[in-house]
Amino acid sequence: MNVNAEANLIEEIVEATVKYDDKRCVDLARQAMDQGMDPVKVIQDGYSRGMQIVGDKFATLEYCLPEVMLAADAMDAATEVLKPHLMKSHDHDSQGIIVLGVIQGDIHDLGKNIVKIMLRAAGFTVHDLGNDTPVRQFIEKAEAVGADIIAASAILTTTMSYMPDISTILNELGLRDKYMIMLGGAPVIADWAIEVGADGYGEDAVEAVEVAKNLMRKKRGG
Ligand code: B12
């Protein structure tokens, strides 16, 4: 597929997401995969950019919540089509065990779901706690499954204020050295994440994989 045709398809994906046209979103995902396009690029430049525009329209009151929800559902449906293309076969041992969830009070899970798919595709074992997850639940799950990394997502500025509790509570329980903490989500920035006790921060799902790999190297003393 030539560069122009790829760019056109990406633009169509952005448009279909903004118009919350779920059937078209799914159909375009299939077309992109049939043409051998990179599913990561399709998510980042296509559906995520479309959601960004939806967010802008929500902010300017052009869209209300139902439109945002329909667009989110359309993106979700398209991601289902892309998922198998992101998953490689992993017969070898897990790269590491990650407990991942959206922090308490927050139901924005599209980003977390993409991060999960990418981490699994890279060979990590990911335990998904879903959304609106209390901090103690991250820790209980990490203890139960012998996790290496606790990863949390926050999309609201109000809910990101729970993130520092992960490190604080781990410290209180004497468990801080057992786990690497990785934070992410739109309002979170790297300096703040480190300041509140995280070991790593990822800007997007691609970076999440790189950061998780680095944290595993660090944890294994490499
Ligand atoms: C979709 C959406 C919704 C959907 C969520 C559906 C779902 N299942 O997720 C619905 C309609 C339910 C919703 C509800 C609300 N929303 Co809303 N929503 C959005 C919107 C449009 C898109 C968010 C999104 O999914 N982006 C696409 C994903 C792929 O990107 P992402 O989440 O950033 O994730 C990427 C990175 O951040 C990173 N990442 C994410 N998590 C992690 C984790 C780790 C560990 C790492 C390393 C990386 C990482 O990787 C991801 C992939 O690349 C944004 C606007 C915007 N422009 O972002 C508003 C927005 C986030 N919402 C907002 C608000 C205010 C709300 C509501 C309070 C509205 C209301 N009045 O009821 C409620 C909150 C409900 C709650 N308690 O959570 C505000 C937040 C303002 C703020 N600064 O806090 C925004 C910014 C809109 C706005 N401009 O005002 N929303």
User: Tell me, what's the pLDDT at 65?
Assistant: 87
Please give the residue range of the domain that contains residue 20: 3-86
Are residues 58 and 134 both part of a single domain?
no
pLDDT score, position 92: 52
Confidence at 91, pLDDT banded by 50, 70, 90: very low
Same domain, 110 and 206: yes
In terms of domains, do 143 and 213 share one?
A: yes
What is the distance in A from the centroid of ligand 1 to the CA of 95?
A: 28
User: What pLDDT digit, counting tens, does each position of 166-187 carry?
Assistant: 999 999 999 999 999 999 999 9
> Could you tell me the strand order of the sheet in which 180-184 lies?
125-128, 97-102, 149-153, 180-184, 200-202
> d(Cα 87, Cα 11) in Å, to the nearest integer?
25
Distance CA 23, CA 117 (A): 22
How does pLDDT run across 131-159, given as a tens digit for each residue? 999 999 999 999 999 999 999 999 999 99
List the CATH number of the domain containing 159: 3.40.50.280
Q: Which residues line ligand 1 (CB under 6 A)?
A: 48, 51-52, 54-55, 58-59, 65, 68-69, 72, 105-112, 114-115, 151, 153, 155-157, 182-187, 202, 204-205, 208
76 & 101 share domain: no
Looking at the structure, tell me whether residues 80 and 101 fall in a common domain.
no
> Do 118 and 9 belong together in one domain?
no
Give the residue whose CA is nearest to atom 9 of ligand 1.
108
Helix locations, the chain, DSSP H: 3-18, 22-34, 39-41, 49-59, 65-86, 110-121, 135-145, 164-172, 190-195, 205-219
Could you tell me the pTM of the whole model? 0.88
Question: Could you give the 3-state DSSP secondary structure of residue 37?
Answer: coil
**Kind of pairing between the strands at 149-153 and 180-184:** parallel
CATH number at residue 21: 1.10.1240.10
Intra-chain end-to-end CA distance of the chain, in Å: 41
Same domain, 78 and 149: no
In angstroms, what is the span from residue 148 Cα to ligand 1's centroid? 27
**Whole-angstrom Cα distance, residue 53 to residue 172?**
42
Reading the block at residue 15, the tokens are 């448009």
Q: Domain count for the chain, please give it.
A: 2
Do 71 and 142 lie in one domain? The reply is no
In this structure, the answer to whether residues 178 and 124 fall within a common structural domain is: yes
Last residue of a domain, one of 58, 86, 114: 86
Q: From the CA of 172, how far away is ligand 1's center (Å)?
A: 31
| 75 CA distance to ligand 1 middle (Å) | 13
Residue closest by Cα to atom 49 of ligand 1: 184
In the chain, what percentage of residues exceed pLDDT 90? 77
